[in-house]
Structure 1
């Protein structure tokens, strides 16, 4: 989930950079880059995967 969000953010940052558009003084290319990297880091850390390691039971 976070990987998809990061891809969308990176795509938006690329389009804004290519079009030389600014969304104000707060949201610029650097802000979108940091937000995308945060989403990638959360994805790699396993946040939001939905895996339930505690309820895993082995069958014999």
Structure 2
């Protein structure tokens, strides 16, 4: 799920950058890209996947 959110943020950042839209500092393409990278790192780390690493019981 976090990977999808990161992809959407990358798309928004690309559109803002491609159209040279003037936006606030929070919605600047660089800040959106960095937030997307943080979400992508959390996704790769396994946060929010719903799966827990559990040992095998006997």
Mark the structure with the bigger radius of gyration.
Answer: 1
Partner of 2:4: 4
CA RMSD after TM alignment: 1.8
Partner of 1:38: 38
Partner of 1:21: 21
Question: TM-score with structure 1 length normalisation?
Answer: 0.82
Q: Which runs of 5+ in 2 are unaligned?
A: none
Is contact 2:13–2:32 with CA below 8 Å preserved after alignment? yes
Question: TM-score with structure 2 length normalisation?
Answer: 0.84
Partner of 1:47: 47
Tell me how far 1:27 sits from its aligned partner.
2.2
